Amino acid sequence: MSVNNGTRPTVASFFSGIGGFDLGFQRARFKVTFQCEIDSFCNQILQKHWPDIPRAKNMREITNANVPLSDVWVGGFPCQDVSLARMAPRPGLKGKQSRLFHEFARLIGEGRPRVFLIENVPGLRSSHGGRDFQIIIQTLAELGYGVGWRVLNSKYFGVPQSRQRIYIVGCYRDGRGPAEILFESERRTRNDEKNGSDGKEAVSPFKKVVGNSRKGPVTPALAYCLYACSARHTGTDWSRNYVSYPDGRVRRYLAVECERIQGFPDNWTLPSDPPDDADKLDSLRYQTLGNAVTVNVAEWLARRITRYLLKPGTANAAVHLNGTAHTNGAAGPLNGAAQSIASARSLRNLGWGRLEGSPGKR
């Protein structure tokens, strides 16, 4: 489809979880066309909010033929094998979970979406001394994409949580596209019409607290990063986030409070048919929220991608599908020059990632 003819841009979601990417892109007026998620509880949440969307479970079993034609593909392949939070040596891309990146790359190679967006933990960059990250970037570049990355912190996007994640963007046959999506122009002293708003101010990183100091409850103004944890308190699974009371009582964040910290509406993770075991339900909600993409960050990226897709010369760009070039419904064979994207040239465009910070703050 072409996004300059008044139709909504489209997004296909992989490793969908509870729909953080999906909700963020939907808020930016994207139409969700497809979801892929293997977890049964996550599928209950996806079914509740997107009952009519085609959905698959196993990344290893789907091909491009299963995925509706979409402008953008998004996904956050499992991070367990590359995360620094792992209490053991990191197997990296050879691990049982994180090796699913290769399945996503296979699908991207088959479908060649115009833009893809991948989310993961910052530890991905250091896995196996950086070799895993190099494999990821080189694999995607060799598929014909200009690739860039940036670490973004959720606290700069209107939620009270310090949560750093790496976002990798690929634009088919366009080495400049990822930088246009991931980075703004230099911050000015005020908002302007050309560059738009500088965005919401971040919650202060200092240890400020909010609440009633005499009656309670009291909680830090900025939460630590939410992790996937259970409903039990084992000493480490509360992610250092507590609500305290002057009389000495302490409790963890409620699941609904975690939803708010991640940018979801209240009770987003309550399934239509919840289990009778309240602790089990809470554990499922905490785990999936800890693994989720912050909705506000996804929405910001979606709006940046929309601007890119609408840019003259981009909205009508050819989409490579099964060896043919599709432009607004017309198809024809690709010439040799168009099929060949020099990996060396693509890799030279990979330096857009060391910058970490907020929108508009360099």
- Which are the catalytic amino acids? 79
Asked, as a colleague might, if the bond just before 271 is cis with ω within 30 of 0, I would say no
The DSSP call for residue 128 is G
Name residue, tokens 């290769």.
102
- Distance, in Å, from the CA atom of 231 to the CA atom of 234, rounded to the nearest integer, reads 9
* Edge-to-edge strand ranges of the sheet holding 330-333: 319-321, 324-327, 330-333
Phi, psi of 33 (to 5 degrees): -105, -20
Determine the angle formed by the axes of helices 278-290 and 40-49, rounding to 10 degrees: 80
Q: Yes or no: say if 210 and 219 are a contact pair by the CB < 8 Å rule.
A: yes
> Is residue 53 a contact partner of residue 33, using CB atoms and an 8 Å limit?
yes
DSSP letter for each residue of 269-314: T--SS--S-HHHHHHHHHHHHHTSPPHHHHHHHHHHHHHHHHSTTT
Is 133 buried (19+), middle (13-18) or exposed (0-12) by CB count in 10 A?
buried
Query: What count of other Cβ atoms lies within 10 Å of the Cβ of residue 1?
Result: 17
Element holding 105 (H helix, E strand): helix 101-111
Q: How far apart are CA 266 and CA 258, in angstroms?
A: 9
The tokens describing 338, both together, are 């168009």
Q: Which two tokens stand for residue 278?
A: 């309240």
**CA pair distance 25, 31, nearest whole angstrom:** 8
What is the Cα Rg of the chain in Å?
21
**Beta strand pairing status for 72-75 and 324-327?**
unpaired
